[in-house]
Amino acid sequence: MLIGFNFSRRAGRARFFPPLPCPSFGAATPPPLNAQRSALLCITTTATKHSRPFVNQTPPHRFSSEPVPSPPVQFDPFNPTEEHTHLRTTVRAFVEKEVDPQALAFNRREEFNLPLFRKLGELGLLGLSVPAEYGGSGMDATAVAIAHEELSAADPAFCLAYLAHSLLFVNNLAQNGSHAQKSKYLPAACAGTAVGGMCMSEPGAGTDVLGMGTAATKASDGSHYILNGAKMWITNGTVDGQSTGDVYLVYAKTGQAAKDVSMFLVEKGSPGFRLGQKLEDKLGMRASMTAELVFDDCRVPVENLVGKEDGAAACMMRNLEIERVGLAAMSVGLARRCVEIMNAYAKERKAFGQPLNAFGQVQRHVAESYAEYMAGRAYLYYVANQLDLSSSGNGLDADGVKLYCAKMGKEVADRAIQVLGGYGYVGEYQVERLWRDAKLLEIGGGTNEAHHKNMVRDLRKHHERLL
């Protein structure tokens, strides 16, 4: 009776190997006095061991039950508070049990897993950055990065649908909406009973977003706006392939100047609002639905204007910052999984009588991937830990972290396929899917070229000398 138990709730798909330990964890001895210096980047303190003044002293008696003075807690940039650690362990346990097992099938069928999405609502992930009064969890940008990183390790496509809902709709409305709008829409969105998204890009306007053609004009009686135009590449634009999703934040021109953009809440079933087409044959991200949405004299009540008329450009720029942090976190998450998979495979698989990881060519793939993954992760949490969700003007590093991490994720996934050889090229071993998914992160939420443009604009203007 005491053996052979099977912890059913947690008995998800077997992990390839235990999570890579952060070297500063679990140090049983008090850290040396100069540990503070090395704490930020989570570097081991072995190099400084010789300077420790008490290294030769007799250790306290092992069986003393006196509480030993705890070593000063080193700052962990990836989990700055206990709540962040708790969030990460909770999401990871959920992901291993619930997200990993469904990923292959839903991506193959190009289907959105709505029941699983609703479970994210039960956990409190859909309204992660929303105050409790609107049904959210009241957490911060770092928590957003953690949730995206963990979900994306298993299923970037599902995570993309989560991002479109929780950041592009939910967080956007939480930051920019009125109390009445938030009270009306956020509780259902946080619970997952309504699936939302955001409409910015158009068939003819992507990076050149302020060149959008969708326009809103106020009706003569002032009771509503009339929207005309089409929006493209809308994640969660449909859930079932037949109709639109439940509710969207839609950007439209309300004036002649480039920045005369306003934001509207448009609900499913609004007169003149319809699904244009469900987009098929995407390279990756196949378990998230992408659509074109069409507005034909679409009537939107005036109370659905979010913020001020012509005032949405700032909202758009602010929300793009957290969106880019979320997308960078997705790259980091999928890169972690790729490193785990290639490392485990290189250890097990033999060629010429030796494990693959005995060969320098493979060592280079694994080691460079790990180093780049950690560099991306450090940049990600550096940005996330400082990002106040209500602020704006953090564009340089929000662009920068996504620019770096998207490329990093794609290249790490590519090396994972290379290490696995033929097995890497087929779906069952996951890295093939992660490789396809990784490419989207160089396009969605800002192309690499958009990041280049924005960053050089900021660097030219504000950052002649770097700190």
Which of the stretches 84-92, 289-297, 344-352, 403-411 binds other proteins when contact is defined by CB under 8 A?
84-92
The nearer residue to other proteins, 124 or 276, going by C-beta atoms, is 124
Sole window of 62-70, 177-185, 293-301, 414-422 interacting with other proteins (rule: CB under 8 A):
62-70
Q: How far is CA 409 from CA 31, 160, 290, 415, in A?
A: 34, 15, 22, 10
Binding flag, residue 418, other proteins (CB under 8 A): no
What is the smallest separation between the CB atom of 84 and other proteins, expressed in angstroms?
9
CB of 148 to other proteins, least distance (A): 14
Q: Which of 27, 43, 210, 279 binds other proteins (CB under 8 A)?
A: 27
**Residue 89 contacts other proteins per CB under 8 A:** yes
Name the residue nearer to other proteins (CB basis): 73 or 466.
73
* Three-state secondary structure call for residue 427: helix
User: 3-state DSSP: the chain helix, strand, coil percent, rounded to 5?
Assistant: 50, 15, 35
Among residues 5, 180, 221, 352, the one that binds other proteins under rule CB under 8 A: 5
User: Which one, 7 or 352, has the nearer CB to other proteins?
Assistant: 7
267 catalytic? Reply is no
At closest approach, how far in Å is the CB of 379 from other proteins? 24
CA distance 269 to 265: 12
Q: Based on CB atoms, which residue is closest to other proteins, 94 or 295?
A: 94
- Among the listed residues 239, 92, 68, the one whose alpha carbon sits nearest the alpha carbon of residue 154: 92
Q: Which is nearer to other proteins, 70 or 220 (CB)?
A: 70
**Which one among 43, 93, 191, 317 touches other proteins, defined by CB under 8 A?**
93
Which of 323, 372, 432, 442 is catalytic? The answer is 323
Q: Is 64 helix (H, G, I), strand (E, B) or coil?
A: coil
Q: Is 352 in the site for other proteins (CB under 8 A)?
A: no
- Other Cβ atoms less than 10 A from the Cβ of 259: the count is 13
> What residues numbered 105-134 form the site for other proteins, per CB under 8 A?
122-125, 128, 132
- Give the C-alpha separation, 125 to 98, whole Å: 14
Sequence-distant contacts of 451-460: CB under 8 A, at least 24 apart: 451/399, 451/400, 451/402, 451/403, 452/403, 453/207, 454/395, 454/396, 454/399, 455/395, 455/396, 455/399, 455/400, 455/403, 458/395, 458/396, 458/399, 459/396
Pick the stretch among 61-69, 252-260, 299-307, 421-429 that binds other proteins (CB under 8 A).
61-69
Tell me which of 94, 370, 373, 379 binds other proteins, using CB under 8 A: 94
Place of tokens 């203007």: 461
Query: Chain centroid to CA 463: how far?
Result: 27
Q: Is 222 in the site for other proteins (CB under 8 A)?
A: no
Residue 295 and residue 206 in contact, taking contact as beta carbons nearer than 8 Å: no
Residue 43 or 93 having the CB closest to other proteins? 93
Question: Could you tell me if 48 and 27 are in contact, meaning their C-beta atoms sit under 8 angstroms apart?
Answer: no
Query: DSSP secondary-structure letter at 238?
Result: B
Cβ of residue 156: shortest distance to other proteins, in angstroms? Answer: 21
63 lies in the binding site for other proteins (CB under 8 A): yes
Residue of the chain from 86, 259, 308, 350 that contacts other proteins (CB under 8 A): 86
CA distances to 10, 279, 372 from 237, in Å = 33, 10, 34
Residue 18, interface with other proteins (CB under 8 A)?
Answer: yes
Of the candidate residues 28, 180, 466, 467, the single one contacting other proteins (CB under 8 A): 28
Cβ count within 10 A of residue 58: 6
Of 74 and 107, the one with the shorter C-beta distance to other proteins is 74
**Residue where the block lists tokens 């392939």:** 241
Answer left, alpha or beta for residue 278, where phi above 0 means left and psi between -120 and 50 means alpha: beta
Cα gap 253→375, rounded to integer Å: 40
Contact predicate 145/79, CB 8 Å: no
How far is 94 from 32, CA to CA, in rounded Å? 37
Binding track, positions 134-173, relative to other proteins; x by CB under 8 A: --xxxx---x------------------------------
Q: How many residues bind other proteins (CB under 8 A)?
A: 46
Complex with other proteins: residue 87 or 263, whichever CB lies closer = 87
Please tell me the distance from the alpha carbon of residue 221 to that of residue 194, in angstroms, as a whole number: 31
Catalytic residues, by residue number, are: 323
- Which residues in this chain contact other proteins in the complex, by CB under 8 A? 1-2, 5-10, 15, 18-19, 21, 23, 25-28, 60, 62-68, 70, 82-83, 85-87, 89-90, 93-94, 122-125, 128, 132, 136-139, 143
